[in-house]
Structure 1
Amino acid sequence: MRFFVFALFFAVLAGCSSGPSIDTSYTATGQGSRVQYIVLHYTAADLPRSLQLLTQTDVSANYLIGDSPATIYRLVDENRRAWHVGVSEWQGRTWLNSTTIGIELVNQGYRDTPNGRQWVPFNEEQIDTLIVLLKDIMQRHNLKPGSIIGHSDAAPQRKVDPGPLFPWKRLADAGLVPWPDANRVLLTQRQMAGQVPSASWFQQQLKRQGYTVEQTGELDKATRNVIAAFQIKYRQARYDGEPDTETAAILLVLNSMR
């Protein structure tokens, strides 16, 4: 009898710990993925250090891609929030950890030398692997081209990754990122006849593109940082944050594609 009482007691406890009974026979049509963007980063470390940082500290990412071999590590399930982007904003949406998938690529980033800053190129196999992963994520979450951004896009005042050697054009050629037609850019630039638009114009156009930029009408440091972030992505030959007709033409062409 005593054995029966104990068995019943533990059975009740087990039933309580399993949670409420939920009927899952109905599914709402009004729903969608929580994921709105994919944010790309470099780790600024080698693979062992990258794994240590992303698994044993407060910083994390949904995926890490090694450099050689280009192994994909899933560190945080896509249904859970990874702590990879911090204070951030894109297209008016803030604190993007909640609505993004973060992908880190093992890459040292840059080295400051007596001859200036030297950026580290990405491994070809690593980018091939990234493209496969991006296509899979975008298909599953029904994301459109343009949903992939860099950390520097979402936080241009404090971040520069994935940097000016990241091959955005390869992602564009794979149909993942919108890219301005070179002939249209050249024609648009010629039409400007050497007249560089105002700081206010750049601020408005960059905001249309998705960047957070105060509409001050002044070419201040914050605006230059945003211009540089845009150039790092679309005009990698020169990313000094200076407004010019080529940057303006690229902006115009891209915004006309939206």
Structure 2
Amino acid sequence: MFRKYLAGALLALLAACGAPAPGALDIDRSIQAKSQNSRVEFIVLHYTSTGNEASLKILSQLNVSSHYLITNDPAPRVYQLVDESRRAWHAGVSEWFGRSDMNASSIGIEIVNHGREGGDWEPYTAAQTAVIGALLQDIIRRHQIKAINIVGHSDIAPQRKIDPGPLFPWKQLAQQGIGRWYDEARAQEYQREFLRDGLPDMAWVQRELQRAGYKVAHSGVLDKASRNVIAAFQMHYRPALYDGNPDAETLAILKALP
């Protein structure tokens, strides 16, 4: 009885003080601060490893999600499954340029593609590539995302992920001004230099991979983890061969990467 009396008295006191009821705050939003920008800093590209119907079900009903899903229909359909203001669960344990918890500041785009089946990779269709480019350009424009922060899942989680795979059209997108690419003429010069003078040691390779954004241990040893990072780099920038071997062409591209 006393508790009911006390609660009633408090409500009466709040009413007397003019306190608004919960949910009835009058917030003035007419003035916006000049010093602000988007919370979105990264875009992460994925493939779904399954077809349209299964991809939509998994990403909308299970314990994983993405902001967008692009189908592989002849005229690809784009689903927005999570509002850009909210966090989608697509990146998992990941890191880029020392930033972890990538879900908190990224937009995830899943593309319907089966990835690697029986040793062969499924290509992305021309229609999908056109839609991917248009969607990326729109997101980049609205959030002012830097080229270095448009990445694949394998770039930010090279120890456990290989999507969007070596057939993803990174170079074609870069030719449209989307994402980062390297100076090809300079890479050729560096490759000739490495073939003539020998390859840098692994300590140099690991430092350069970190400069490029990748998480890599500074062991000075070509261990399995370092090979995984090199393979992820190769799938992005030298997809013809992604064996994790730090050869002259790979290291020349790495050195030529801005």
CA apart distance, 1:194 = 5.5
1:45-79 deviation digits (Å, cap 9, x = unpaired) = 10000000000001000000011131110000000
Q: Percent identical across equivalent pairs?
A: 50
Equivalent of 2:242 in 223, 226, 239: 239
Structure 2: tracts of 5 or more residues without a match? 1-14
Q: Bigger shift: 27-36 or 39-48?
A: 27-36
What SS does structure 2 have at the residue aligned with 1:146? helix
What SS does structure 2 have at the residue aligned with 1:206? helix
Whether the 8 Å CA contact 1:197–1:245 is kept in 2: the answer is no
Matching of residue 59 in structure 1 with residue 64 in structure 2 = yes
Moved over 4 A (4+): none
Equivalent of 2:186 in 184, 187, 201: 184
What SS does structure 2 have at the residue aligned with 1:242? coil
CA apart distance, 1:31 = 1.2
User: 2:3 matched to which residue of 1?
Assistant: none
User: 1:7 matched to which residue of 2?
Assistant: none
Matching of residue 80 in structure 1 with residue 86 in structure 2 = yes
For 1:122 and 1:104, locate their aligned partners in 2 and report how far apart those are by CA, in whole Å. 12
1:167-225 deviation digits (Å, cap 9, x = unpaired) = 11111111012222322111111112151211111100000000000111111110000
Matching of residue 98 in structure 1 with residue 101 in structure 2 = no
User: 1:142 matched to which residue of 2?
Assistant: 144
For 2:199 and 2:34, locate their aligned partners in 1 and report how far apart those are by CA, in whole Å. 49
Q: Which amino acid aligns with 1:197?
A: P
Q: Which amino acid aligns with 1:87?
A: V
Q: Which amino acid aligns with 2:29?
A: T
Whether the 8 Å CA contact 1:40–1:104 is kept in 2: the answer is yes
Q: Which amino acid aligns with 2:252?
A: A
Structure 1: tracts of 5 or more residues without a match? 1-11
Matching of residue 216 in structure 1 with residue 219 in structure 2 = yes
Q: Which amino acid aligns with 2:154?
A: S
Q: Bigger shift: 209-218 or 174-183?
A: 174-183
For 2:47 and 2:99, locate their aligned partners in 1 and report how far apart those are by CA, in whole Å. 23
CA apart distance, 1:246 = 0.7
1:27-176 alignment runs, 5 A limit:
27-68=32-73, 69-112=75-118, 117-176=119-178
Report the RMSD for the aligned CA atoms in angstroms. 1.3
For 2:78 and 2:102, locate their aligned partners in 1 and report how far apart those are by CA, in whole Å. 22
For 1:201 and 1:146, locate their aligned partners in 2 and report how far apart those are by CA, in whole Å. 21
1:14-45 deviation digits (Å, cap 9, x = unpaired) = x8453422121221122110111100000001
Give the TM-score, by structure 2 length: 0.89
1:80-136 deviation digits (Å, cap 9, x = unpaired) = 000000001001100100000000000011113xxxx11111111011001000000
Q: Bigger shift: 40-49 or 172-181?
A: 172-181
Whether the 8 Å CA contact 1:63–1:73 is kept in 2: the answer is yes
What SS does structure 2 have at the residue aligned with 1:130? helix
Whether the 8 Å CA contact 1:146–1:176 is kept in 2: the answer is no
Whether the 8 Å CA contact 2:41–2:146 is kept in 1: the answer is no
User: 1:203 matched to which residue of 2?
Assistant: 206
